[in-house]
Amino acid sequence: MLKQALAQNGLIAILRGLHPQEAAAVGEVLYAAGFRVIEVPLNSPAPYESIRILRKTLPADCLIGAGTVLTPAQVELVKEAGGQVIVMPHSDAKVLRAAKAAGLYLSPGVATPTEAFAALEEGADILKLFPAEQMGPAVVKAWLAVLPVGTILAPVGGITPDNMQAFIDAGVKGFGLGSGLFKPGMTTEQVAANAKAYVAAWKALR
């Protein structure tokens, strides 16, 4: 279902700093704009409560996940809150295995081909290329030439509607969007406008 969601819209919303009281409204405008994967990093205020609210608020075809997951114990808390996707900044095998054992989708962070192959071996569903600012489209193209056919590599970090083209040309089929989409203090209207700009760029480039 994760790959199906990304095939519909390859943009992943990363809501770092989201407060539970704004979760429903932000989730609704993202869903209306076309987002089908939404992530709440665990270093946000009361992240598990925000995950619960998003899961309760949004339709079943929108996957709710947690980011910055660092331990197997956090994996279990995410599952209890209704989260379905585990996103990591790294590729700790203990966390990957815990996520797979819990039946959750998995998107570990990778910064080298060695990490990428190891993460796929552990059952990663998609690979988070992080931080994308230090990689660039040329790196993506080189990796995709050797990774298994069909591997989804999603750059995260510094992605804007204006720099997506080069990554897509290199073979990218998804992006993680952070502060360019949402950051604490933004109004729901601002988030909605950002979401529409990203989705319009995605559709035009695809």
Is 100 one of the annotated active-site residues of the chain?
Answer: no
Q: 110, exposed or middle or buried, with CB in 10 Å at 0-12, 13-18, 19+?
A: buried
How far apart CA 63 and CA 65 sit, in angstroms, is 7
> Which of 79, 122, 128, 173 is flagged as catalytic?
128
Q: How far apart are the first and last CA of the chain?
A: 20
* Number of Cβ atoms within 10 Å of the Cβ of 142: 13
* Bridge pairing between strands 127-129 and 109-110: parallel
Q: Are 200 and 36 in contact (CB under 8 A)?
A: no
Query: Would you state the structure tokens that stand for residue 143, as one six-digit string?
Result: 């990796």
How far apart CA 200 and CA 11 sit, in angstroms, is 11
How far apart CA 169 and CA 196 sit, in angstroms, is 22
> Which of 22, 39, 79, 122 is flagged as catalytic?
39
How far apart CA 185 and CA 187 sit, in angstroms, is 6
How far apart CA 76 and CA 70 sit, in angstroms, is 12
Is 39 one of the annotated active-site residues of the chain?
Answer: yes
**Active centre residues (catalytic):** 39, 128
